[in-house]
Structure 1
């Protein structure tokens, strides 16, 4: 009986470590996106996504109407790669990663700053697919608001 317990413990430990390694690989891709934004590196950004990802923004407009706006990834990639004097910084926290086979979902809280100036906050929700060349983002939707932002002190300028 003791031997069975040891084997089960070892298997659970191994499976837990494998799952954590996979989550780390997924978060590496997510963190590349924000590094690309900080460093104006559109090549790094492109490496994180499939060729034609779907992007959306969900928000409530000034009249209180719920909106979902489709994004243009090429435009976003070009904006990231443009030389600019300001730094786009988007710290993230409360990462939630779920994986089933070759599909992953990541939900993170964020705050967006241009240099040290707060712009907005919200949630980024990513869907990724695992391919031969690793995890790639195929869907991204974010929310945006300027109020009710509970940003941890370590992410404030």
Structure 2
């Protein structure tokens, strides 16, 4: 992983692969929170063009809030059928087939505050991982006092 401001390449100790994205995300936030004292940590897919001016402006509006989760929020259906992309092995936890997941940011780009990254780092071994990385990150914040901020400019 390359961090442009520090010119450091930091290898993450994780398995690569689609079904390992939850572990990779946990490792990323844990590593970033341990290495850098930042107000926000941002996850960006490698095929996304980032406008740093927009990101900076957006994040500056939320600097003094302790637990903020910013992104393009959605709530899609829970996929119960095996063999289908995004199949959720834990679908039965959502009570009825066809139910929707809770609100969560889509995975192309989202930001979380230092408090939330630290929470992930401290409790990473106890946090449940759903089939889809977007879902599990959103699930980790249910029950916490987190402000979900819908921002389509991302």
Same fold per superposition (TM over 0.5)? no
Give the TM-score normalised by structure 2: 0.28
Instruction: Indicate the structure whose relative CO is greater, using CA pairs within 8 Å and at least 6 residues apart.
Output: 2
Q: Name which one, 1 or 2, has greater alpha-carbon Rg.
A: 1
Higher-strand-fraction structure:
1
